[in-house]
Amino acid sequence: MNSLEKAKWNKYANDYIRKVEAFCQREIYKKFKLSSVKLDWSINRRSSRGGMYADGPGINIAMMGCCRDHKGQIYRVYEYSSFNDDPDIGGFYTRRSYDKLDMVILHEIAHALQYYSYKINRHRCKPHGPVWKNFYSRLRNAFLNYTLENQHDMADEYQRIKDEIVGIKRDPLIARAASK
Ligand SMILES: [Zn+2]
């Protein structure tokens, strides 16, 4: 990806992060503030992070794995397998290229909120436990879930496209016809 495209994704991510942060201040914790936001484009970076850093709550997003132009084609975004099928906080189908990045940002800000709440409440729970799930589901419903198309229809369409691709690979005659 060239630097102009990266700059476009960075601008989008920063605007989105500030919008979510403003929501957190309005609806959850008035004094919550992300003191560190890092958008990391290293090729080796696989997983994003969110939590408490030396100077306060922060997130660090592995951009390479989240930013891809799908050109309007349907794709599946996956969450952790233990809650991938959850209608509120699980994976989903979409055509919008920014949705995967949105999901990862919301996931990591929910971790930042979680660790912030530990500090305030002097109580801890598991990284993907009920406290985190509650924050994540609030953010998902406020910012992402209502924008998604009907997931049953999307799943059918995705399967149809997948079957077509498999069919083309199996039948060399169709493959030749398709490439013309
Ligand atoms: Zn997580």
- The answer for residues whose C-beta is within 8 angstroms of residue 153's C-beta and 6 or more apart is none
Is residue 156 in some structural domain? no
Is residue 26 in some structural domain? yes
- CA 31–ligand 1 middle distance (angstroms): 23
Q: Are 74 and 158 in contact (CB under 8 A)?
A: yes
Is residue 172 in some structural domain? no
Q: Are 134 and 121 in contact (CB under 8 A)?
A: no
- CA 175–ligand 1 middle distance (angstroms): 41
- CA 111–ligand 1 middle distance (angstroms): 7
DSSP structure class, residue 165: H
- CA 51–ligand 1 middle distance (angstroms): 10
Is residue 164 in some structural domain? no
- CA 135–ligand 1 middle distance (angstroms): 12
Is residue 169 in some structural domain? no
- CA 125–ligand 1 middle distance (angstroms): 13
- CA 154–ligand 1 middle distance (angstroms): 26
- Tally of domains in the chain: 1
Q: Which amino acid is at 180?
A: K
Is residue 170 in some structural domain? no
- CA 101–ligand 1 middle distance (angstroms): 14
Please tell me the pTM assigned to this model.
0.91
Is residue 107 in some structural domain? yes
Tens of pLDDT, residues 85-129: 999 999 999 999 999 999 999 999 999 999 999 999 988 889 999
Residue 109: both structure tokens together: 């800000």
Pairing of strands 56-62, 36-40: parallel
Distance CA 125, CA 131 (A): 7
- The answer for residues whose C-beta is within 8 angstroms of residue 160's C-beta and 6 or more apart is none
Tens of pLDDT, residues 131-171: 999 999 999 999 999 999 999 999 999 999 989 888 877 76
- CA 82–ligand 1 middle distance (angstroms): 11
Is residue 171 in some structural domain? no
For 18, the domain range is 3-149
Band (pLDDT 50/70/90 cuts) for residue 173 is low
